[in-house]
Amino acid sequence: MTDILTRLAALLPPAALREAGPAYLEEPRGRWQGKALAVVAPGSVAEVAAVLRLCNETGTGVIPYGGGTGLVGGQLAEDGAPPVILSLERMRAVRSFDAEAGTMVVEAGAVLADIHAVAEAEGWIFPLTLASQGSARLGGLLATNAGGVNVIRYGNARDLVLGVEAVLADGTVVNTLSPLRKDNTGYDIRHLLIGSEGTLGVITAASLRLFPKPAATGAAMMVVESPEAALALLRMAKARIGDAISAFELMGKEGFLFLDEVGPETRQPFDPRPDWVCLVDVGMGAGGDPSGALEALFAEAFEAGLVSDGVIAQSEAQRAEFWTLRENIPAANRRIGAVSSHDISVPVAAIPRFIAEAPARIGAEGQFRLNCFGHMGDGNLHYNVFPMPGKSRADHDNQRSAIKRAVHDLVQELGGSVSAEHGVGRLKVDDLERYGDPGKLVAMRAIKAALDPRGILNPGAVLRG
Amino acid sequence: MTDILTRLAALLPPAALREAGPAYLEEPRGRWQGKALAVVAPGSVAEVAAVLRLCNETGTGVIPYGGGTGLVGGQLAEDGAPPVILSLERMRAVRSFDAEAGTMVVEAGAVLADIHAVAEAEGWIFPLTLASQGSARLGGLLATNAGGVNVIRYGNARDLVLGVEAVLADGTVVNTLSPLRKDNTGYDIRHLLIGSEGTLGVITAASLRLFPKPAATGAAMMVVESPEAALALLRMAKARIGDAISAFELMGKEGFLFLDEVGPETRQPFDPRPDWVCLVDVGMGAGGDPSGALEALFAEAFEAGLVSDGVIAQSEAQRAEFWTLRENIPAANRRIGAVSSHDISVPVAAIPRFIAEAPARIGAEGQFRLNCFGHMGDGNLHYNVFPMPGKSRADHDNQRSAIKRAVHDLVQELGGSVSAEHGVGRLKVDDLERYGDPGKLVAMRAIKAALDPRGILNPGAVLRG
């Protein structure tokens, strides 16, 4: 062990050696505590390769580390031999920017908000947008194929990537950074690495697809009485506004009550708090009129009895306020402390059925508060189970697995996924075994064994070690 | 050998046994002649699995076979032990169609034109569009990650697929057909199989993404004096018309002369034949005015001195006529017989430089006619080298590899790809070794060995057997 520390210190410049402090070992919600043999932050692909060669040779586990914002324990190991944490934080350069083609090559340690800023300075956007963008780093976002609020329009993280540079377990550097639109020369290693959660290789850089910045944007919050009405509103919005819909979010009453409970500073437009609200965000090209389109949508939906109240943002500041409200819901959840959180997806049309049936399944375990919100346009809900007032998460520790099982069984019955956008990490390894396609698992295990025969890359994540 | 034939006959119903006739053994341009131990056409996934299990057990090569339209020899083997040809032609069912979500699950043997018809009957489109769509089958299109004319708007074949069902070499069935927009449960086997040209598994069905049928379409042919002007026109079109551009094709004079030479029945709008023509196709939603947009584009481009002449389709029939002209160019090429054909891509901005420099590189080998056309909007050209009048392809047999090398070296210098949309097949195995990223090749070989340890799947394609 010390031998490895000595060898790491010999391989790397002093700036690459880090203290194994809490920043690398604590789960963002404080749920788990990781272990580390060492934390290293290489400054180049060659240094990443050197670290991996050493760890592969010595059979030392390596956890590739981004911003540490993951919610499924993919970035920290409680069990097993302490791993080397390989942080990409020092590799955050924008290697190139093609302002004409709308592509950029960025290193994996770049923080998402910084990537946004670089793209916007040139009149483009990189549309991956999620609550943790101020700290999440590109490598982790790609390793987990992150989703977020704009998937309905722009796709998941993988859809925004033209190529990657990565280092395999044995130190082999794979470079597919070419930003060509068409390149059919061999297997798509890019998509294999994206979403593999650091278990097949360490992504060190990526070519990103940028999109024209919408010239005109708008947003509205519309009150609907039920998930069925929300679904009908989504259909109506798609028919009227089509591809210009950048996000279609659903928020349930419990979330608004949580905001009142933990952070009365969040301004809420509706009083009393409504059962369900849809947040519709629209971006259009020059000459487009998002607010006009949202007003027309509201009028038609009101006429049809789908919506009972609504606010259309009158300024960019008000639009930002709507989004702050939306982003404050997960923050409030964190303060209250969920018994169990579920990042699930079902076919969009099945969302009302999921929302209708889940409470009874969970109710078999006792009384809980349910906060349901998420990316309705993609069929992706964050369905979180909270203790009743006066109780705490710890009071329900022995029920957690039964609750998860109840929710995931229902998801499976509806043809959904038990991990829509957060990944498998260590938290859902059992779920993958239970609900995953057996043939896919066979293929996954064969690929893992081929690319990481000693099992050093993020051991215990995704697949049992 | 006969033992395998007997065992195949015992495994499969009589309807699944086919004569190993020329339809399965001839390259579409008559360039190569394949061999076959047997041709089987299973009627179900279970039958595909049974065939693969047997072939894996006995170490018999298998070529998964679609419409036989591939241009890089991926579907036929001249050398090595005769393989079993596994045709998907009997598996062409539409298993399900979700008219609301815009998804369909289709078996791999379905012909692309039939898929188009099914989608359009429900008001949707499946936008993959290419010359061979009347015979190309879904499985082959996905195995080669086919491109075609609409990539600029809708992406390559892989971008149109939500999930696949496939059978691995050992008969394991992998099912990731779920059409969920968000599903982060494990490695993306779908994208690994798409583009692997039948060397990692046999795709038996896929969930396809459909798109709303544009309510209004239009097309124009515009005469430009140079590739530089074509590039400037593309930029202007993107700025004016944006995402509504469905295709942006470039055609060179030689192609028009070929049409005159082999098929005077093709109506051509410009006389004398111009040096370069751009075909711009536009699709818009309800209320859009594609012809108006094209007229405005033409006016601005004329004003700027970029275009000197043009025709805007006055009807759907005239738009179809433009496309017939475009599609007749590869047909004319086939009749004249290329010395060498190149399906290359470069960064879009490098297209003029490629077109300017390629003739001198090829000219070092002698005098040739060059027909350059293709999907300019994606940086993808079909750059084909023909004998001078009075000479034939056979007269240049000994120069072919030097010509290919000259073209591909230039492509490599410009950061391009030696196979943009046709794949590697058997024709470009050497090119992949020469020009491919060495690290990517390491990963590819490891994955191939893991998923097909006996090397039975399309042996000799993509990677040397």
Residues B100-124: pLDDT tens digits? 889 999 999 999 999 999 999 999 9
Hey, is the C-beta of A239 within 8 angstroms of any chain B C-beta? no
Confidence of residue A452 (pLDDT cuts 50, 70, 90): very high
Whether B386 maps to a domain, the answer reads yes
Whether B252 maps to a domain, the answer reads yes
Whether B382 maps to a domain, the answer reads yes
Whether A148 maps to a domain, the answer reads yes
Whether B438 maps to a domain, the answer reads no
**Partners of residue A163 on adjacent β-strands:** A207
CATH code of residue B404: 3.30.70.2190
- Which residue stretches of A337-376 are H helix? 351-363
- Domain's final residue, options B212, B244, B278: B212
pLDDT at B441: 98
Q: B-contacting residues of A 205-234, CB under 8 Å?
A: 212
Is the domain of B37 the same as that of B172? no
Is the domain of B197 the same as that of B274? no
Q: How far is B335 from chain A (nearest CA, A)?
A: 26
Residues A409-449: pLDDT tens digits? 999 999 999 999 999 999 999 999 999 999 999 999 999 99
CATH code of residue A29: 3.30.43.10
Q: How far is A308 from chain B (nearest CA, A)?
A: 25
Residues of A with Cβ-Cβ distance to B180 under 8 angstroms:
345-347, 379, 415-417, 420
With an 8 Å Cβ cutoff, are A185 and B432 in contact? yes
Type of residue at A117: A
Is the alpha carbon torsion for A290, A296, A302, A304 positive or negative? negative
Q: Which residues does A210 contact at the CB level (< 8 Å), separation at least 6? A: A102, A103, A104, A119, A124, A125, A126
Residues A72-122: pLDDT tens digits? 999 999 999 999 999 999 999 999 999 888 999 999 999 999 999 999 999
State the total domains in chain A: 3
Query: Is it the case that residue B11 has pLDDT exceeding 80?
Result: yes
Is the domain of A64 the same as that of A108? no
pLDDT at A44: 98
Whether B427 maps to a domain, the answer reads no
Please tell me the distance from the alpha carbon of residue B27 to that of residue B249, in angstroms, as a whole number. 26
Nearest CB neighbour to B180, from listed A168, A180, A417: A417
Query: Is it the case that residue B271 has pLDDT exceeding 70?
Result: yes
Q: A-contacting residues of B 143-162, CB under 8 Å?
A: 144-145, 147, 151-152, 156, 158-159
Confidence of residue B1 (pLDDT cuts 50, 70, 90): low
Residues A371-389: pLDDT tens digits? 999 999 999 999 999 999 9
CB pairs under 8 A between A and B: 238
With an 8 Å Cβ cutoff, are A186 and B424 in contact? yes
Residues A312-328: pLDDT tens digits? 999 999 999 999 999 99
Please tell me the distance from the alpha carbon of residue B414 to that of residue B356, in angstroms, as a whole number. 12
Q: Which of B182, B413, B422 to mutate to test the interface with A (most CBs of A within 10 A)?
A: B182
pLDDT at A387: 97
3-state secondary structure of B320: helix
Residues of B with Cβ-Cβ distance to A462 under 8 angstroms:
186-187
Is the domain of A133 the same as that of A245? no
Q: B-contacting residues of A 325-364, CB under 8 Å?
A: 345-349
Write down the mean pLDDT value for chain A.
96
Please tell me the distance from the alpha carbon of residue B80 to that of residue B92, in angstroms, as a whole number. 30
Residues B380-424: pLDDT tens digits? 999 999 999 999 999 999 999 999 999 999 999 999 999 999 999
Residues A324-362: pLDDT tens digits? 999 999 999 999 999 999 999 999 999 999 999 999 999
Residue with tokens 């590189």: B361
pLDDT at A1: 53
Selection from B328, B152, B147, B131 nearest residue B234 by Cα: B152
Is the domain of A183 the same as that of A278? no
- Domain's final residue, options A151, A178, A212: A212
Query: Is it the case that residue A264 has pLDDT exceeding 80?
Result: no
Residues B303-316: pLDDT tens digits? 999 999 999 999 99
pLDDT at B286: 79
pLDDT at B329: 94
Is the domain of B149 the same as that of B199? yes
pLDDT at A2: 66
Cβ-contact B259, B324 below 8 angstroms: no
With an 8 Å Cβ cutoff, are B421 and A145 in contact? no
Confidence of residue A225 (pLDDT cuts 50, 70, 90): very high
pLDDT at B465: 77
Is the domain of B319 the same as that of B407? yes
pLDDT at B285: 82
Is the domain of A26 the same as that of A108? no
Residues of A with Cβ-Cβ distance to B348 under 8 angstroms:
101, 181
Residue % of chain B over a pLDDT of 90: 93
Whether B228 maps to a domain, the answer reads yes
Residues of A with Cβ-Cβ distance to B444 under 8 angstroms:
186-187, 189
Query: Is it the case that residue B2 has pLDDT exceeding 70?
Result: no
Whether A251 maps to a domain, the answer reads yes
Q: Which of A128, A164, A181, A203 to mutate to test the interface with B (most CBs of B within 10 A)?
A: A181
Is the domain of A207 the same as that of A101? yes
* Chain B: residue whose CA lies nearest to A240: B286
Selection from B201, B195, B222, B197 nearest residue B302 by Cα: B222
Element (H, E) at A401: helix A400-413
Residues A283-298: pLDDT tens digits? 998 788 999 999 999 9
Q: B-contacting residues of A 81-140, CB under 8 Å?
A: 98, 100-101
With an 8 Å Cβ cutoff, are A441 and B182 in contact? no
Confidence of residue A207 (pLDDT cuts 50, 70, 90): very high
Please tell me the distance from the alpha carbon of residue B393 to that of residue B266, in angstroms, as a whole number. 24
- Domain's final residue, options A167, A192, A212: A212
Write down the mean pLDDT value for chain B.
96
* Chain A: residue whose CA lies nearest to B156: A182
Ordered strands of the A103-107 beta sheet: A94-98, A103-107, A202-209, A161-167, A173-175
pLDDT at A286: 79
With an 8 Å Cβ cutoff, are B439 and A175 in contact? yes
Confidence of residue B77 (pLDDT cuts 50, 70, 90): very high
pLDDT at A379: 95
Is the domain of B277 the same as that of B345? yes
Segments forming the whole domain that contains residue A342? 216-413
